[in-house]
Structure 1
Amino acid sequence: MVQERQTQGKAVCWTLRLWSVAVVSMLLLSTCFIVSGIEKMWASCPNHWKSFGSSCYLICTKENFWIISEQNCVQMGAHLVVINTEAEQNFIIQQLNESRTYFLGLSDPQGNGKWQWIDNTPFSQNIRFWHPQEPNLPEEQCASIVYWNPLKWGWNDVFCDNKHYSICQMKKIYL
């Protein structure tokens, strides 16, 4: 009888431990789910801006010079777009009109081949999407993204004082 009670007691204790582990695991998973949901719910972009990763993008519908385009972005709390990955480039080109040219936040102010991003992100050797033979003129000191048939979308150096459309980028707003 005593041995039977000890066996039952051990079984009850083992069952309680299993249930405790299950409950704690469920609470941890629920917490993770809730936290990730809140993070996604509270990260947003302004109206008419497109969301990708941790950034928001706006395709500007008015042509302007490069410096004016950058100033317009800055007035909205943004800057001309900085492309860091192929996935980001692919997302952006889905938003663009193939008949237009768009300024990037990339320039070569001295015309010496030392391209730099507007936000001081290092200009990576392996993240470049120039069209073949581009950049080709030291006088063309601003970069654009343009669709050339049959090459598709790519970067091109252009004169900064030509008017083009542009793409603004800002970090998502977290509330």
Structure 2
Amino acid sequence: MILDQGYENAEPEYEYIGFSGIQMRRLPDNRGKAEPALYTFEDDKRGPFIRKPVSIFSLLLLCSLIMVKAAFVMTSVRCFSVCPDEWVAFQEKCYYFPIKTGNWGEVRSFCRWLGADLMIIDNKMEQDFLIYKMDSTKNLWIGLRYAEGVPGWQWVDGTELTFENWETPDNIQLTDKYNYKTHCVLTSDEASKGKWNNIPCDKLHLSVCERDKEVTCVLWSPLSPH
């Protein structure tokens, strides 16, 4: 048992008697009756070793809860590839058919204003899709041209032809006699099976714009109806 005497000038005076983990206090004029003070580990050497495991456990528990919540949110996110309103989806692309005519440069500028470009036809499936969607009386500008100083036909993204659907072989020869410096390409109506023809780029026609689908993600609840 350790006896600690209070300071001489302190009023009222207390005497503290320390036991392992328990403190008792006694007033000198109270006939020696002792009253238990607050239970504390302040003076107990075991105190820090008891509190430290509790703190580490609480921290680990908090980290675990955060990780579980993050994992739940991640597994509850569903992402979809979609097209904007009024656009037509096909495979991984979206297509828009403007109702105003223009020359090749004008309609391309309009497509780019929409965040798109003139359509690039890479395969027969895309060509068949376009034929299906076309009005039987319309021709449409596509994103193919032959410009002076450019080696051969090129799409608007700078790629070369991997699929061709010309009305006649080497269709560029049809307009060489007019000495046009730039040739742009139309895809023809359904009756012609979408065959391509090159004409001067300043002619007025309708067009078709193409862009990638947008990825949209939403939170999905496991309890929500499927």
Amino acid aligned to 2:193: K
CA distance in 1, matches of 2:141, 2:160: 18
Tell me the residue number matched to 2:114: 76
CA deviation after TM superposition for structure 1 residue 111, in Å:
8.1
1:128 to 147, 164, 180: 164
CA deviation after TM superposition for structure 1 residue 148, in Å:
7.4
CA distance in 2, matches of 1:147, 1:167: 13
CA deviation after TM superposition for structure 1 residue 113, in Å:
7.3
Contact 2:143 2:185 in 1 (8 A): yes
Tell me the residue number matched to 1:106: 144
> Per-residue CA shift, 1:93-146, capped at 9, x if unaligned?
11111211110000001188711000112222xx10011252321326000101
Contact 2:131 2:190 in 1 (8 A): no
CA deviation after TM superposition for structure 1 residue 43, in Å:
0.6
Contact 2:127 2:194 in 1 (8 A): no
CA distance in 2, matches of 1:92, 1:60: 14
CA distance in 2, matches of 1:137, 1:100: 21
For structure 2, list consecutive stretches of 5 or more residues without a partner in the other structure: 1-74, 217-226
Tell me the residue number matched to 2:199: 158
Amino acid aligned to 1:82: I
> Per-residue CA shift, 1:38-70, capped at 9, x if unaligned?
45xx11101111101111001111100100100
Tell me the residue number matched to 2:35: none
Tell me the residue number matched to 1:65: 103
Tell me the residue number matched to 1:145: 187
CA deviation after TM superposition for structure 1 residue 158, in Å:
1.2
> Per-residue CA shift, 1:17-51, capped at 9, x if unaligned?
xxxxxxxxxxxxxxxxxx9xx45xx1110111110
Contact 1:63 1:164 in 2 (8 A): yes
Taking a change above 3 Å as real, the CA distance of residues 131 and 74 of structure 1, as seen in their structure-2 partners, is: same
CA distance in 1, matches of 2:210, 2:149: 25
Taking a change above 3 Å as real, the CA distance of residues 122 and 100 of structure 1, as seen in their structure-2 partners, is: same
Tell me the residue number matched to 2:210: 169
SS of equivalent to 2:201: coil
Amino acid aligned to 2:164: R
Amino acid aligned to 1:93: I
Contact 1:111 1:141 in 2 (8 A): no
Range that drifts further, 158-167 or 115-124? 115-124
CA distance in 1, matches of 2:168, 2:190: 11
SS of equivalent to 1:91: helix
Larger radius of gyration, structure 1 or 2?
2
Q: Which has the higher contact order (CA 8 A, sep 6+)?
A: 1
Runs of 4 or more above 6 Å deviation: none
Which structure's residues are more often helix, by fraction? 1
CA distance in 2, matches of 1:132, 1:123: 16
CA deviation after TM superposition for structure 1 residue 85, in Å:
0.8
Coordinate RMSD, CA, aligned: 2.0
Give % identity.
27
State the TM-score, normalized to the length of structure 1: 0.70
Amino acid aligned to 2:152: K
State the TM-score, normalized to the length of structure 2: 0.55
